Amino acid sequence: MAEITKEEITKWFQGLQDSICNSLEKLDGKSTFKEDQWDRPEGGGGRSRVIKGGDLIEKGGVNFSAVSGPTPEKILNALNLPEANFFATGVSIVLHPQNPWVPIIHMNVRYFEMSNGIWWFGGGIDLTPHYVIKEKAQNFHQYLKDTCDKHDSEFYPRFKEWADDYFFVKHRNETRGIGGIFFDRLTVKDGKSKADHWQFVKDVGETFIPAYTDAIEGLRDKNWSDADKNWQKIRRGRYVEFNLVHDKGTKFGLDTNGRTESILMSMPPEANWEYDYQPKSNLELETQEQLKKGINWIA
C-alpha cells in the first residue's frame, strides 16, 4: 500500500471545507460564505471562509490552510522538536449562533510533518452550549463515541478526557462547555498505521455536519429574551478568554506568522465581561454547575 502523502491529505481537507460550507449554507438558509485566499510569505497559504448575519449563524468561519517553511524557534522549543522544515494543513471551524439556545461548535482536523520524517495527526470536536441541555449533550457525545468506536473502543474515553482537560479555563476553574473529543500527535507509536489514523481523522471530519444538525434541531427557532442574549454574551466572553489565553492552535498560528484575521475568526461578533457576574436564573446556575470535568454525558 502506497504511503499517504501530504498532497493527498491537503486535497481531502480542501474537499472537506467545500462540503461543510455547502451543508452549512443549506442549514442557515439565508447567508453564504465569503472567501479570502491568502498566501504566507514563508510558504503556503489558505482559504478563509466566513459567514455572518445568517438566520442560524451570527458569525462563523470554516478555514483551510496548508503552510510550510522553516519551523519557528518558538514551535521547536514548545514541542521539543529538532530543527527542520515543517508542513501543516487542516480545517478549522467555529460557529457562533444567533439564538442563545443554539450552542457554539468547534472542530479542527489537522496534519503536521517535518522534513526529517516526523509526522502526526490531531484534531477534535467540542460543543459550547450557552444553556446546557442534557439530552442534546448526550446525543452530541454519542455521535463522537460512535465515530471513535469504529476505530478503537479506547478512543472515546481517552479523547473525551483529553478534551475535558484541554478545553478548561484554568483561571475560571470551569470547562469551556460540555467538551467532546480532542487528540494530538497521533503517530505510529500509538500502535496504528498512518492509514489508520488518517481514516479516523476523515471520519471525525465527516461527523461534524450530522452532529451539528442534531445539536441545533428544535432550538434555532426557540424564543429568547434580552436576558438570554446577555447570558449568551457572558458565555461568549469565557470562550474568548480560553482562545486567547490557553488555546495552543491560536498560539501556533500566531507563532508561525499565519494570517491573523483567519486565526482570530473564532472570536464572536459580540461578547460581554460584566464585573463579578453571578447567574441570574436557575437555567444559568444549572449550566454554570455543569461546566466541570469528568461528567459522563452518555450515562
CA distances from 23 to 28, 105, 163, 212, 213 (A): 9, 15, 26, 11, 10
Instruction: Name the β-bridge partners of 155.
Output: none
Q: Are 272 and 63 in contact (CB under 8 A)?
A: no
Q: Are 90 and 106 in contact (CB under 8 A)?
A: no
Q: How far apart are CA 96 and CA 233, in angstroms?
A: 11
DSSP alpha helix (H) spans, the chain: 6-28, 73-79, 134-149, 155-166, 194-216, 226-245, 248-255, 260-263, 282-289
* Chain center to CA of 28: 19
Active-site residue set: 106
Torsion of CA 139, 267, 114, 15, to 10 degrees: 60
Select from 146, 84, 144 the least CA-distant residue to 119: 84
Q: How far apart are CA 156 and CA 182, in angstroms?
A: 9
The number of CA neighbours under 13 Å toward the Cβ of 280 is 11
Greatest distance between any 2 Cα atoms in the chain: 59
